[in-house]
Each structure stands twice: as structure tokens, then as C-alpha cells.
Amino acid sequence: MGSEATVLRGSKPLITAGAMLAGLMAFLDISIVNVALNDIRANFGTPLDQIAWVSTAYAMANITVIPMSGWAYGVRVSRRSGELLRPDEFHQHRR
């Protein structure tokens, strides 16, 4: 590895707000499953102690899929075309 440091560009408040919004959305997503757990249990006709794994499995699937979606975007869309999707980056490349 070289001694080159990665320079991150962007607005720190905007990045922070985006990360906070993503965390809030993940929290709401898992909370919705927890609220719906009673209806899920009633539909399957199982006691609560046997259906509690649904909430855990959903949270684990979320934890697994979220990082994979970022990796898949990086693989599927090249860095150059991914940057072209952001208008501020597009103008920098045209100069």
C-alpha cells in the first residue's frame, strides 16, 4: 500500500444528513415489521414465541442486503457512468 490518502469530496453536513436519514429509514423499516408481527402471527396461527424469528431474520436480511446493494451498484455501473448520474460531478468532468 502506498502512502496516498483518499480525499473525500462533498458537503459534510449533507453526508451526515444522508447517513442519518438512511439510519432512520432502516429503523422505521424494522419497526414496521415488529408492529406487524402480531398480524403475521395471527395469519400463520402460531404462538408469539415461535414467530419471533421473523423479526430477527428480517433484520439480518436487511443487514446483509444493504451493503451488497452498494457493492452491486459499483460492479454493475462503472465509476465513470456512476459519477455522470450526479450533476455536480458531471460538470467537473466536462471541463
Per-residue DSSP letters for the chain? --SPPPPP-S-HHHHHHHHHHHHHHHHHHHHHHHHHHHHHHHHHT--HHHHTHHHHHHHHHHHHHHHHHHHHHHHHS-HHHHHHTSHHHHHHHH-
pLDDT value of position 78 = 58
Q: What percentage of the chain reaches a pLDDT higher than 70?
A: 64
pLDDT value of position 43 = 92
Q: What average pLDDT is seen over the chain?
A: 76
Distance of CA 5 to the CA centre of its chain: 26
pLDDT in tens, 34-50: 888 889 889 989 888 88
Dist. CA 40–CA 28, nearest whole Å: 18
Radius of gyration of the chain, Cα coordinates, nearest whole angstrom: 20
Angle at 66 between CA 5 and CA 88, to 5 degrees: 50
pLDDT in tens, 49-73: 888 888 888 888 888 887 777 777 6
Kindly tell me if the per-residue pLDDT of 81 is higher than 70. Answer: no
By the 8 A CB rule, do 54 and 33 touch? yes
